[in-house]
Chains A and B, each alone.
Chain A
Amino acid sequence: MEKRELTCIGCPMGCLVTVEMENGEILNVTGNTCKIGDTYARKEVTNPTRIVTSTVMIEGSDFTRLPVKTASDIPKSSIFAVMEVINHAHAKAPVKIGDVVIKDVAGTGVDVVATRNIA
């Protein structure tokens, strides 16, 4: 049996969660204090994902950088591929929160969206 210890990131509680696994099968999840911990731990050991936040260049405004995020989480392994696309992207003012800046970033199927309004 394999044990993996994780710190749950679902909320700032940061529960210490233990996942017991055997042959890739999850046997047991303990230590979490809510459902989020269980879900997180199961996912983190099989398919870890992250939301990526960064900035992109923006033209047509006093602001030179627009903060953005992936609209939902992407595979952890794609973070740097996503960053590479973000680093070369341009936006044009005006922009509103939620506007799609990059569609389907790095083949993840997830869009990169603006996280602030820039007039």
Chain B
Amino acid sequence: MKSYDIVIVGGGPAGLAAAVAAKKAGNDSILILERDHELGGILNQCIHNGFGLHTFKEELTGPEYASRFIDQVKELQIDYKLNTMVMDIAADKTVTAMNREDGMFQIPAKAVILAMGCRERPRGALNIPGYRPAGIYSAGTAQRLVNIEGFMPGKEIVILGSGDIGLIMARRMTFEGAKVQCVAELMPYSGGLKRNIVQCLDDYGIPLLLSHTVVDIKGKERVEGVTIAEVDERSKPVPGTEKFYSCDTLMLSTGLIPENELSRSAGVDMNPVTNGPFVNESFETSIEGVFACGNVLHVHDLVDYVSEEAAKAGEHAAAYVKAGREAASAEEIRVKATGGARYTVPTTVSLDRLGDLLTVRFRVGAVYKDAFVSVYLDGERVTHQKKRIIAPGEMEQVILKKEQLTAHTGLKEITVTVETE
């Protein structure tokens, strides 16, 4: 097997953008390993529009967005292998992968970019009681069946969870002639984007039941219906509020989990909040030369941000291969989330390696109205930005100038928080 400087695990939006950026940064020895039969990842099945407004200043569908990057990968003659599953990443950056043609093979890489994306939380993890018939699909699995393979997994549908994929699928199934009974959401707010609630539910009169969950599944062979109940503020079903909805399909859109089995076995330190690796300003994990980007790092709402972060990861991986790790002269600055902010990416910053700007992305744990996103440098507030709404479904960011950080001599900690005043 040919050896490569940079091995990228995953040929979805993150892997593609990382590859393109690494190549443009001057590295000519890049390999993308993709388990599906084509590049593009989950974007191929996201045939709806709404991608790329930030990156391309136009609204693209998922496959169109993916093709912009796939075209670049091909033009730049970056190597990739399809139908190839990465089986292991060792701490020394040896990547073990497998496919039909090459068999199982190992590549000793100088840098590895983790871009495996995420998976959907299954029914089992939700402990929904009831039978276990056919007709319980995660929304993404149903999306693949409908959009790529052209099969209808159901005709009468209840969706649990108002994540974006669930909302998109509500409209998609309606277009294909199915009846979507309702979308039930455990939380008092939706995890999906506003535009999707408007365009996928409101437009078609599909009710969104906030603070509701599925408490029983009926049907031994195929789903025959579900019972939905209201939940209290501790998310416990309220007795007496149960209502039966006839349906042949229950679709779940109840959250995404970064797919970090390979990262864990490589020994990468993981952030328990994001279920993704801890990274520094260069998107480098706790293992030198192993970078992470996209949904494997933290679940994004917008693919534009994935591409942007991945490009940085790609650039830094190329720089790492070229020069080895740039030794940081000063101590690393910690980036901490407090208050309403649940986590930050990155969690450490080295000023030596930082470009002109530091973008810190985070999510909040509850809905805030007319609140402030604040940044403190060792206790001194430097940002106090008013926001009409901050919601858990949408990723937030603050951008700090490098001068701001260097001006603060001996800076040890950057704190990101949400304040009500």
Contact = CB atoms under 8 A, between A and B. Distances in A.
B61 A53 contact: yes
Q: Which of the listed residues A52, A54, A67, A69 has the most CB atoms from chain B within 10 Å of its own CB? A: A67
Contacts of A14: 193-195, 198, 389, 394
Interface residues of A, number: 31
Contacts of A28: none
A27 B146 CA distance: 44
A115 interface: yes
B233 interface: no
Given A12-B301, A15-B388, A116-B67, A55 B150 contact: yes
A76 interface: yes
Contacts of A85: none
A12 B64 contact: no
A67 B199 contact: no
Contacts of B87: none
Interface in B372-421: 388-389, 394
Given A65-B147, A83-B175, A116-B44, A11 B53 contact: yes
Q: Which of the listed residues A16, A65, A76, A116 has the most CB atoms from chain B within 10 Å of its own CB? A: A116
Given A9-B199, A12-B193, A12-B301, A64 B47 contact: no
B388 A115 contact: no
Chain A contact surface mostly: loop
A116 B175 contact: no
Nearest to B63: A116
Contact of B48 (A8, A53, A117): A53
B150 A64 contact: yes
A117 B67 contact: yes
B338 interface: no
A116 B61 CA distance: 9
Interface string B56-84: 00010101100100000000000000000
Contacts of A97: 63-64, 67
A51 B47 contact: no
Interface string A26-70: 000001010000000000000000111111010000011101010
Contacts of A54: 47, 172, 175-176
A47 B203 CA distance: 14
B148 interface: yes
Given A55-B150, A115-B63, A115-B64, A9 B48 contact: no
B197 interface: yes
B175 to A, nearest CB: 5
Contact of B47 (A33, A53, A76): A53
B208 to A, nearest CB: 12
